[in-house]
Amino acid sequence: MVSGASKERIVNTICNNCAQACGLEIHVAGDRVTRVNPIEGHVVQNTSGCPKAAPEALMEMIHSDKRLRKLLRRVNGELREITWEDALDFIAEKLHQLKEKNGARALTYQTGNAFLATESEKVARGFCDLYGTPNFSSVGSLCFYTRRFAHTVTLNHGAPIYAFPNW
Ligand code: SF4
């Protein structure tokens, strides 16, 4: 949707900051996000006023000058830009050395909540399997995992990930 004078577009999408996937209406002018609202009547709504979808937080996440936009490696105390090839070679070598010296279980993979219940999680778990470590963990989120845990121990199956308004 484009509103004539300001050329502002409205893009309906979902928040990807956790597995809930709340509906968001994003206002965009040029390449800048100008406003964020919940989508009225969307099946998954951020009814609790989740701070991770506050307009200021989302806009900072997208437009902050401090956002990491290139690959950096610290060399002699200084951060230097490196290529993907260099980064992958460096990490592969470190992983190889770790396994040789301490065994595969010395590696723990810790991920944030945004990567749970997504394809990225499956890739990360697959990597851990191939490497040989069972140590895969996540921060989870208190609102999600406590609900899921309570659902499991009382009803004997994991709760759906979505919190519909009329539950
Ligand atoms: S609960 Fe919050 S972080 Fe999760 S999808 Fe909804 S708005 Fe985003």
pTM above 0.85, yes or no: no
Counting from 1 in the atom list of ligand 1, the atom nearest the Cα of 21 is 5
User: For ligand 1, atom 7, which residue shows the shortest CA distance?
Assistant: 53
What is the 123 CA–ligand 1 centroid distance (Å)? 23
Q: For 68-124, how does the pLDDT look when each residue is reduced to its tens digit (9 = 90+)?
A: 999 999 999 999 999 999 999 999 999 999 999 999 999 999 877 655 666 777 888
* Residue 3's pLDDT band (cuts 50, 70, 90): very low
What is the 90 CA–ligand 1 centroid distance (Å)? 35
User: For ligand 1, atom 4, which residue shows the shortest CA distance?
Assistant: 18
Three-state DSSP string of 43-100: CCCCCCCCHHHCHHHHHHHHHCCCCCCCCEEEECCEEEECCHHHHHHHHHHHHHHHHH
Domain range annotation of the chain? 2-63, 68-102, 107-161
What is the 52 CA–ligand 1 centroid distance (Å)? 6
What CATH code would you report for 2-63?
Answer: 2.20.25
Place of tokens 């519909």: 164
